[in-house]
Structure 1
Amino acid sequence: MKGKIASISLIAIAWLGAVNTANGYEIDCPAKINIKFDHPELENIPDGWQVSDKKDRSLALSSLGVYSDEPVKLFQLKPEIGIIDDKKHDITWQVNSVYDEGGSYVSCGYNGDEVQLVKKIDSTMKSCWADYSNDKNQAIKVKLICSTSELQKVK
């Protein structure tokens, strides 16, 4: 009897996990990243000048963007108010459309996009919305939540 209950429990857990991954997923932007500065090499340093070293530092999250194709190609999608899974959201995107030849990507920007971390959005996702909040120190937290449902425009 114990084995049967354990098997049923494992099946239920596996099914719940499959439902979660089949209907959508979340991408959390790291709240802070640490960067290490290298000493730049200049071809010609004018007489009497030297290159100043910079300190390694932490950069705080400042933005989130969604792109059609790789972000380096600069096809950033404009966010809009929309309905996903019967719920209205202020910041939404349609992703992985027929026009997104290379797929869709999310970009997390740090210190005014001085540094960007990018991640490809799963190709089965059809719509996403941003969820912004603040941590206990008032630092920005943001996650991209995606769904297999189509984005419905607000009229």
Structure 2
Amino acid sequence: MRGKIFSISLVAMVWFAAISIANADEIDCPARINIKSDHPELENIPEGWQVSDKKDRHLLLSGIGVYSDEPVKLFQLKPEIGIIDGQKHDLTWQVNSVYDEGGSYVSCSYNHDEVQLIKKLDPSMKSCWALYANDKNQAIKAKLICSTSEWQKVE
């Protein structure tokens, strides 16, 4: 009898784990990106002056943001303390609500918004939370985890 109960419990745990994995989406921001600097073209260069070339460079991740609609429209959502899937998180967002006409987006920012990589969130996701860590060189690592579960306010 104990073996049967254990088997049923194990099957139930695996099933619940599969459901939670199937209803989540993880987005990792690249920790660094390489940019090729362009040579700016000026209309009028003052006499005796020339435009300097910039060196190609590496930009480190500086943060993650969530937007209602495309980030170019500047509707960045404020992170809040919330509960998602029964767990409390410090940086959470409610996403893909009826107010997000163009959907929700995640933005990975480099060099304090000098460059942003953006990605549209799966429309089935209803809430997200961010996790930050540092790599061995102390560079920021950021991950956005989204769920089909509703966001709950912390009372």
TM-score, with length taken from structure 2: 0.87
SS at match of 1:109: strand
Q: 2:32 — aligned with what?
A: 32
Segments ≥4 residues shifted beyond 6 Å: 15-18
More displaced, 15-24 or 48-57?
15-24
SS at match of 1:97: coil
| Aligned 8 A contact 1:22 1:148 in 2 | no
Q: 1:101 — aligned with what?
A: 101
Q: 2:114 — aligned with what?
A: 114
Q: 1:130 — aligned with what?
A: 130
After TM superposition, give the deviation of residue 94 of structure 1 in Å.
Answer: 0.1
Tell me the alpha carbon deviations over residues 19-56 of structure 1, each in whole angstroms, 9 at most, x when there is no partner.
Answer: 46631110000000000011111111011111010000
1:52 aligns with 2:61: no
Q: 1:91 — aligned with what?
A: 91
Unaligned runs of 5+ in 1: 1-14
1:72 aligns with 2:72: yes
Which amino acid in the other structure matches residue 29 of structure 2?
Answer: C
Unaligned runs of 5+ in 2: 1-14
Alpha-carbon separation, structure 2, partners of 1:97 and 1:105: 12
Identity of aligned residues (%): 80
Tell me the alpha carbon deviations over residues 89-113 of structure 1, each in whole angstroms, 9 at most, x when there is no partner.
Answer: 0000000000000000000000111
Alpha-carbon separation, structure 2, partners of 1:25 and 1:117: 17
After TM superposition, give the deviation of residue 16 of structure 1 in Å.
Answer: 9.3
Cα RMSD, aligned residues only: 1.6
Tell me the alpha carbon deviations over residues 45-101 of structure 1, each in whole angstroms, 9 at most, x when there is no partner.
Answer: 011111010000000000110000000000000000000000000000000000000
TM-score, with length taken from structure 1: 0.87
